[in-house]
């Protein structure tokens, strides 16, 4: 019996928790729900009282904080520049003198720093600036909102691009790094949502025509070694570095410039270090054809409790050779009866290529996108695009070589895997037969797949 | 009182939250405790985790548009609860001199060798990181396809495949180590 069958039998034999007191458990649940509801009603009463009391308090005491200002943990917020009035049709004039104030060190030991001018967010205005000036910008888009406040630009980036929602991250005051550049530290969060005094990521910003733009982000526990900033990347792209995440989970995404968390070009979950210890991670991401030649690689880990903890963003260039795109199909399953369900070909436009068989197999190994998964699609093929070691096509006969690490010793593949491979390979009319190899061995593939390794086009 | 239409619990009858909770509880409490017990190996804690899930479900009841999603919600909540429980226990476990295996005795019908193998495998399963453990339990204990495992765990299918792949590899290694 193989490992999977043994595991199936073992878990079913060992699941018995003993006798259960279901009526007692149900009564306990009901009691707890009643308590929670009582507490909520009490809080609602207090909130209603505050709504009445707060305006009175503000009138009585005044409030000298800027709109939207952030009180970072253990950072003394010093008086900043006077809020700039929001422009209507043209950017508001800003002072030419660098407004310099000094922030007290954070508890993480940051030295006393020069703080970039902070004012408030402005609304959308006409696109700024000379051609090319925004080439390394990740956020905001030239036609999107613009910010005269570096911290607000970062706040918007963290929420709308990185996707850190509730609880929101707390930000430090901007720290000047040059005449028109600055950095903003992002603090971590505790389990209850409060800010920790630990900086998890640092976001770099640049001022162009009096407005602040995000140009990248770094994190001490997520170091991306390849690709480098503004490097031209191929397809699929290999992303590697050192990092740590909850249970070793590190998420690698490829995105168009200005794209948010729901608009991914590609995603792969890699394994790095855990419990704060950095270890190498590597991901090969088969991303969809980008909308422009500019994008970024976003790498983040997970707190295990409330989503993203720290993140790194590396601006990249997409190869102009891929412009235009090529559409290939990969075949996945949609859940249904009988298991594993119905084979469904999915079209994917990838950067332009003549190696369409390889491209289709890479898409297949990459698995369904998040949207496709929400549509019920799944794959029986484990691994990632990196597990495709080679594809040859000679006179209608294809040879597909898969990496040995796809098949841990003693395991067999899930039923339906070969059908997915065949459907993807034989979409191309000029492929008449295929041989699958696992680590250059036909026999190893057969043992793993429990099917022959040689297949002919049906009909 | 707001009423809901159930597609899971017997067609189109309108149900009030209390009745629905009870019906859900009767139908799913035992199976969810067994799932949690596979993950945790602790019957008392497993029951707490499942009760927590029902409390969360009931509290959020007014915000649920589709009652037929309640079982999936419960399963996800149990997985999350088990993961949090494991996380809290991790520090203590790291300092434990030996792996703690709290498994019930095999039934009289089980062959001694089978029982030994089951105990050894489940012990190894419980030594895996929480997500690998959950992915393997959902795949091999509940026989869910990748898409449903991904949905229950709130992660991508690619991530599920990674966790299963690595989980099996580690499981195989742990069992082999014990064979020596």
* Residue A57 confidence (pLDDT) above 70: no
Q: How far is B102 from chain A (nearest CA, A)?
A: 10
Does residue A303 sit in helix, strand or coil? coil
Are A391 and A399 in contact by the 8 Å Cβ rule? The answer is yes
Are the Cβ atoms of A13 and B37 closer than 8 angstroms?
A: no
Chain A residue closest to B58 (CA)? A33
Q: How far is B26 from chain A (nearest CA, A)?
A: 8
Residue A372, CB half-sphere, CA atoms under 13 Å: how many?
Answer: 26
pLDDT the model gives residue A45: 58
φ, ψ at B164 (rounded to 5°): -70, -45
- For tokens 């390849």, name the residue: A226
Q: Tell me the chain B residues in contact with residue A18 when contact means C-beta distances shorter than 8 Å.
A: 43, 104
Instruction: Pick the residue of A34, A163, A378 with the most B CBs within 10 A to test the interface with B by mutation.
Output: A378
Q: Tell me the chain A residues in contact with residue B18 when contact means C-beta distances shorter than 8 Å.
A: 30
Return the sign of the alpha-carbon dihedral for residues A80, A116, A180, A227.
Answer: negative
Closest-CA residue to A113 (of A147, A78, A66, A149): A78
Q: What is the mean pLDDT of chain A?
A: 78
Confidence band (pLDDT; 50, 70, 90) for A378? confident
Top pLDDT among A445 and B105 is at A445
Element (H, E) at B19: helix B17-40
Identify any residues that bridge with A208 across adjacent strands, giving them in sequence order: A211
B140 → closest Cβ in A8, A367, A380: A8
What is the mean pLDDT of the segment spanning A50-55? 44
Nearest 5°: CA angle at A160, between A217 and B160? 80
A248 → closest Cβ in B35, B129, B168: B129
A33 → closest Cβ in B58, B121, B175: B58
pLDDT the model gives residue B113: 61
Confidence band (pLDDT; 50, 70, 90) for A1? low
Residue A8 and residue B138: Cα distance in Å, rounded? 10
Are B112 and B156 in contact by the 8 Å Cβ rule? The answer is no
pLDDT the model gives residue A216: 96
B155 DSSP 8-state letter:
S
Are the Cβ atoms of A382 and B161 closer than 8 angstroms?
A: yes
B147 → closest Cβ in A26, A378, A406: A378
φ, ψ at A337 (rounded to 5°): -105, 145
Which of A181-185, A250-254, A349-353, A400-404 is predicted with the least confidence, judged by mean pLDDT? A349-353
Q: What is the 3-state secondary structure (H, E, C) of A207-219?
A: EECCEEEEEEEEE
Q: B 130-149 residues with CB below 8 A of A?
A: 130-132, 136-137, 140-141, 143, 145-148
Q: How far is B74 from chain A (nearest CA, A)?
A: 14
Residues of chain A above pLDDT 90, percent:
39
Helices (H) and strands (E) in chain A, counts: 7, 21
Helices (H) and strands (E) in chain B, counts: 7, 2
Give helix B112-125 / helix A3-13 axis angle, nearest 10°.
100
Residues of chain A above pLDDT 70, percent:
77
Closest-CA residue to A260 (of A305, A284, A236, A295): A295
Q: Tell me the chain B residues in contact with residue A407 when contact means C-beta distances shorter than 8 Å.
A: none
Top pLDDT among A97 and A287 is at A287
pLDDT the model gives residue B112: 61
Residue B161 and residue B159: Cα distance in Å, rounded? 5
Residue A428 CB partners (closer than 8 Å, separation 6+)? A356, A357, A360
Confidence band (pLDDT; 50, 70, 90) for A458? confident
Assess B22–A contact: CB distance below 8 Å, yes or no. yes
Assess B115–A contact: CB distance below 8 Å, yes or no. yes
Residue B151, CB half-sphere, CA atoms under 13 Å: how many?
Answer: 20
Q: Tell me the chain A residues in contact with residue B131 when contact means C-beta distances shorter than 8 Å.
A: 247, 249
Are the Cβ atoms of A376 and B147 closer than 8 angstroms?
A: yes
Nearest 5°: CA angle at B64, between B58 and B65? 150
* Residue A109 confidence (pLDDT) above 70: no
Assess B56–A contact: CB distance below 8 Å, yes or no. no
Are A216 and A315 in contact by the 8 Å Cβ rule? The answer is yes
Confidence band (pLDDT; 50, 70, 90) for B116? confident
Residue A307 and residue A301: Cα distance in Å, rounded? 8
Does residue A113 sit in helix, strand or coil? strand
Are the Cβ atoms of A382 and B46 closer than 8 angstroms?
A: no
* Residue A211 confidence (pLDDT) above 70: yes
Closest-CA residue to A292 (of A261, A265, A268, A313): A265
Confidence band (pLDDT; 50, 70, 90) for A309? confident
ipTM of the complex: 0.73
Give helix B43-59 / helix B70-95 axis angle, nearest 10°.
140
B61 DSSP 8-state letter:
G
Confidence band (pLDDT; 50, 70, 90) for B11? very low
Residue A443, CB half-sphere, CA atoms under 13 Å: how many?
Answer: 0
Top pLDDT among B108 and A80 is at B108
A308-318 vs A231-233, strand pairing mode: parallel
Chain B residue closest to A415 (CA)? B145
What is the mean pLDDT of the segment spanning B124-143? 87
Assess B23–A contact: CB distance below 8 Å, yes or no. no
Confidence band (pLDDT; 50, 70, 90) for A71? very low
Closest-CA residue to A452 (of A441, A436, A438, A440): A436
Assess B29–A contact: CB distance below 8 Å, yes or no. yes
Residue B21 and residue A337: Cα distance in Å, rounded? 29
| Alpha-carbon A379 to chain mean position | 21
Q: How far is B11 from chain A (nearest CA, A)?
A: 21
Are A413 and A377 in contact by the 8 Å Cβ rule? The answer is no
């Amino acid at each position: 019996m193989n490992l999977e069958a043994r595991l199936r039998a073992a878990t079913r034999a060992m699941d018995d928790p003993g006798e259960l007191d279901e009526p007692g458990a149900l009564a306990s649940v009901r009691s707890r729900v009643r308590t929670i509801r009582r507490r909520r009603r009490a809080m609602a009463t207090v909130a209603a009282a505050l709504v009445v009391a707060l305006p009175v308090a503000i009138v009585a005491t005044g409030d000298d904080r800027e709109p939207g200002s952030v009180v970072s943990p253990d950072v003394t917020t010093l008086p900043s520049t006077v809020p700039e009035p929001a422009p209507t049709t043209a950017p508001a004039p800003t002072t030419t003198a660098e407004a310099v104030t000094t922030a007290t060190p954070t508890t993480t030991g940051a030295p006393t720093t020069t703080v970039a001018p902070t004012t408030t967010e402005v609304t959308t205005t006409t696109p700024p600036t000379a051609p090319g000036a925004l080439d390394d910008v990740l956020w905001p888009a030239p036609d999107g909102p613009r910010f005269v406040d570096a911290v607000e630009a970062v706040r918007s980036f963290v929420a709308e691009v990185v996707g850190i929602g509730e609880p929101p991250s707390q930000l430090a005051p901007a720290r000047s790094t040059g005449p028109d550049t600055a950095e903003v530290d992002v603090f971590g969060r505790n389990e209850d949502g409060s800010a920790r005094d630990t900086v998890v990521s640092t976001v770099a910003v640049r001022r162009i025509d009096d407005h602040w733009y995000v140009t990248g982000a770094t994190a001490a526990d997520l170091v991306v070694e390849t690709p480098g900033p503004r490097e031209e990347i191929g397809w699929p792209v290999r992303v590697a570095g050192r990092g740590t995440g909850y249970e070793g989970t590190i998420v690698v995404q490829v995105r168009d410039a200005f794209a948010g968390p729901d608009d991914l070009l590609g995603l792969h979950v890699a394994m790095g270090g855990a419990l704060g210890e950095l270890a190498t991670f590597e991901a090969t991401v088969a991303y969809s054809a980008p909308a422009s030649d500019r994008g970024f690689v976003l790498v983040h880990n997970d707190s295990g409790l409330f989503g993203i903890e720290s993140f790194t963003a590396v601006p990249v260039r997409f190869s102009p050779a891929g412009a235009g795109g090529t559409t290939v199909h990969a075949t996945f399953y949609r859940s249904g009866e009988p298991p594993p369900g119905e084979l469904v070909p999915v079209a994917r436009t990838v950067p332009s290529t003549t190696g369409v068989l390889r491209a289709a197999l890479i898409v297949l190994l990459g698995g369904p996108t998040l949207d496709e998964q929400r549509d019920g699609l799944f794959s029986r093929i484990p691994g990632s695009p990196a597990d495709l070691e080679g594809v040859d096509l000679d006179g209608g006969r294809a040879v597909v070589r898969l990496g040995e690490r796809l098949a841990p010793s003693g395991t067999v593949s899930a039923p339906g895997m070969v059908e997915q491979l065949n459907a993807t390979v034989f979409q191309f009319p000029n492929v008449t037969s295929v041989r699958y190899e696992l680590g250059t061995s036909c026999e190893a593939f057969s043992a793993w797949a429990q099917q022959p390794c040689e297949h002919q086009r049906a009909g | 009182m707001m009423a809901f239409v159930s597609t899971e619990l017997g067609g189109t009858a309108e149900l009030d939250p209390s009745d629905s909770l009870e019906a859900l509880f009767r139908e799913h409490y035992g199976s969810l405790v067994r799932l949690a017990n596979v993950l945790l190996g602790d019957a008392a804690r497993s029951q707490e985790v499942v009760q927590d899930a029902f409390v969360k479900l009931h509290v959020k009841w007014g915000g649920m548009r589709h009652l037929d999603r309640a079982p999936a919600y419960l399963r996800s909540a149990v997985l999350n609860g088990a993961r949090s429980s494991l996380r809290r226990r991790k520090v203590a476990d790291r300092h434990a001199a030996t792996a703690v295996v709290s498994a019930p005795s095999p039934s009289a019908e089980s062959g001694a060798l089978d029982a030994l193998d089951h105990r050894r495998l489940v012990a190894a399963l419980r030594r895996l990181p929480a997500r690998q453990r959950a992915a393997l339990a959902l795949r091999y204990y509940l026989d869910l396809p990748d898409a449903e495992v991904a949905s229950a765990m709130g992660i991508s299918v690619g991530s599920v495949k990674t966790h299963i792949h690595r989980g099996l590899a580690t499981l195989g290694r742990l069992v082999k180590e014990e064979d020596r």
